[in-house]
């Protein structure tokens, strides 16, 4: 008789460590101006106000002339097409290029064309979203803000010497990753490969050092969602595939990061972190096979990802409406309606082929609810009889996981 051990899907609560937080310290400069006493006595407060504004403008104009802007060598052509860069105004794009040049050279202070009414911290945030290769940027910064310019002081997570050594290690890791890809593989196969590679090689660890950048994921092999997502972006960009870093929130989290990928001219949602089997747990404590991958977050639609993800509303992300790359559809695991004979036949085929698990995903919550009880209470026991008969087992064991969020049931066959 089959023994059923029910396993439930569980997500670890993560309140910190996912999306990079920019820490800004702002210092106002060149702002005070004082009036001459006898003028104040004779003409009163109106002249005081006018005089103060005049002196302040004069002081700030002189300060701007002495600001010492560096010659900008990063051209607009070099950054055109970068997703977050294109979200900015022309004035902000200039600041973006100034910051890019400065952090490339690891300048301690970058003089930028941003005054009191501008938001250079937003521009810096967008720069880091576009540039996963800037692993040496800690995400923190300080600013001294004047009327017409700002002295921007980025925080760095390593020295220039450490940066050079870490880049060598990253390059080696990327080469090792790419070595496993068939040179003739198409875009989808490359995207799927990167998804599987990161799930299989990176462990989720809130305490991992440098967990907001690619070094933690590609070299350290321990990271959080920011590291997973930036590593996916870095690898796919290196393969010539557009990959956008997405920020927002996810179920049970205050902040989260994932990706949108361009495949064949269509955009798809992708969350490598949620594809990691670390989020599958068992009530019985039994270990699941280590090579499980959650494919619900590989090339899915906006509707599917928003079942437990909410993107930031400040940015208009590309629409992801096509489900032609749904993993379960492409691999015969997707059921538009419930037919017990078809489903049982597919289960038995998985046993004959000695597959580790069988997955059935239903097209809607209505079909899932219609099928659920029958699948668990009738089809699984019948398939277990096949398992015992084919492999001569006196006692048959199997484990199943219900995923109501994605209208899916997974069963793991034990062949021993």
260: which DSSP letter? E
3-state secondary structure of 20: coil
pLDDT value of position 277: 72
pLDDT of residue 53: 52
How far apart are alpha carbons 194 and 95 in whole angstroms? 33
Could you report the per-residue pLDDT of 241-272, keeping only the tens digit for each? 999 999 999 987 779 999 999 999 999 999 99
Structure tokens given for 96: 């973006």
Residue 367 vs residue 34, higher pLDDT: 367
Contact predicate 204/223, CB 8 Å: yes
Position with higher pLDDT, 59 vs 339: 339
Q: Which of these, 405, 142, 107, 412, lies nearest to 284 by C-alpha position?
A: 412
Highest-pLDDT range among 15-19, 61-65, 220-224? 220-224
Measured in whole angstroms, the distance separating CA 212 from the mean position of its chain's CA atoms is: 10
By the 8 A CB rule, do 212 and 245 touch?
A: no
CA–CA separation, 289 and 287 (whole Å): 7
Residues 374 and 342 sit within 8 Å (Cβ to Cβ): no
Q: pLDDT tens across 51-105, in order?
A: 445 544 444 444 445 567 889 999 999 999 999 999 999 999 999 999 999 999 9
- Residue pair 326/340 in contact (Cβ under 8 Å)? The answer is no
Question: Among candidates 333, 334, 269, 331, which has minimal Cα distance to 305?
Answer: 269
Rounded Cα distance, 213 and 123, in Å: 18
Cα–Cα distance measured from residue 342 to residue 335, given in angstroms and rounded to the nearest whole number: 10
Q: Mean pLDDT in the chain?
A: 86
Look at 1-10, 14-23, 24-33, 207-216 and tell me which has the smallest mean pLDDT.
1-10
**Coil/strand/helix, residue 339:** coil
What mean pLDDT is predicted for residues 183-206?
96
Contacts (Cβ under 8 Å, ≥6 apart) of 149 = 63, 64, 67, 69, 111, 112, 113, 114, 115
Is the pLDDT at 368 greater than 50? The verdict is: yes
Tokens linked to 28: 């106002």
Closest CA to 76 of 100, 60, 52, 110: 100
Are 280 and 288 contacting, i.e. CB atoms less than 8 angstroms apart?
Answer: yes
> pLDDT digits over 105-147, tens only?
999 999 999 998 899 999 999 999 999 999 999 999 999 999 8
More confident residue, 403 or 22: 403
pLDDT at 16: 43
Query: With contact defined as beta carbons under 8 Å apart, do 88 and 96 qualify?
Result: yes
Task: Give the chain's end-to-end CA distance (angstroms, integer).
Answer: 14
């Amino acid at each position: 008789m089959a023994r059923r051990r029910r396993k439930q899907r569980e997500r670890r609560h993560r309140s910190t460590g996912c999306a990079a937080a920019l820490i800004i310290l702002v210092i106002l400069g060149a702002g005070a101006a004082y009036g001459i006493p006898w003028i104040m006595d004779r003409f009163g407060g109106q002249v005081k106000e006018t005089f103060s504004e005049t002196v302040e403008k004069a002081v700030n104009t002189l300060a701007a002339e002495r600001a010492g802007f560096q010659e900008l060598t990063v051209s607009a052509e070099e950054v055109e097409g970068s997703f977050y860069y294109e979200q900015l105004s022309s004035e902000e794009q200039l600041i973006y290029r100034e910051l890019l040049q400065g952090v490339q050279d690891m300048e301690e202070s970058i003089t930028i064309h941003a005054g009191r009414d501008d938001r250079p911290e937003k521009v810096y945030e967008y720069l880091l979203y576009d540039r996963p290769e800037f692993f040496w940027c800690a995400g923190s910064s300080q600013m001294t803000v004047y009327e017409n310019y700002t002295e921007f002081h980025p925080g760095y997570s390593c020295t220039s010497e450490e940066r050079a050594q870490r880049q060598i290690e990253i390059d080696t890791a990327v080469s090792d990753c790419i070595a496993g890809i068939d040179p003739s593989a198409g875009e989808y196969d490359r995207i799927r490969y990167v998804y599987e590679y990161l799930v299989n090689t990176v462990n989720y660890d809130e305490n991992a050092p440098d967990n907001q950048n690619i070094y933690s994921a590609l070299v350290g092999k321990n990271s959080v969602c920011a590291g997973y997502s930036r590593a996916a972006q870095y690898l796919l960009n290196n393969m010539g595939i557009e990959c956008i870093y997405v920020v927002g929130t996810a179920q049970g989290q205050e902040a989260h990061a994932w990706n949108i990928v361009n495949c064949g001219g269509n955009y798809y949602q992708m969350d490598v972190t949620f594809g990691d089997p670390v989020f599958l747990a068992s009530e019985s404590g039994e270990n699941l096979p280590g090579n499980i991958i959650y494919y619900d977050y590989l090339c899915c639609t906006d509707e599917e990802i928003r079942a437990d993800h909410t993107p930031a509303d400040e940015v208009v992300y590309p629409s992801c409406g096509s489900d032609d790359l749904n993993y379960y559809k492409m691999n015969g695991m997707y059921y538009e309606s419930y037919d017990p004979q078809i489903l049982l036949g597919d289960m038995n085929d998985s046993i004959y082929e000695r597959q580790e698990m069988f997955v059935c995903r239903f097209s809607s919550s209505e079909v899932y609810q219609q099928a659920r009880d029958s699948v668990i209470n009738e089809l699984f026991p019948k398939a277990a009889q096949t398992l015992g008969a084919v492999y001569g087992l006196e006692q048959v064991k199997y484990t199943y996981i219900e995923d109501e969020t994605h209208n899916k049931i997974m069963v793991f066959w034990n062949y021993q």
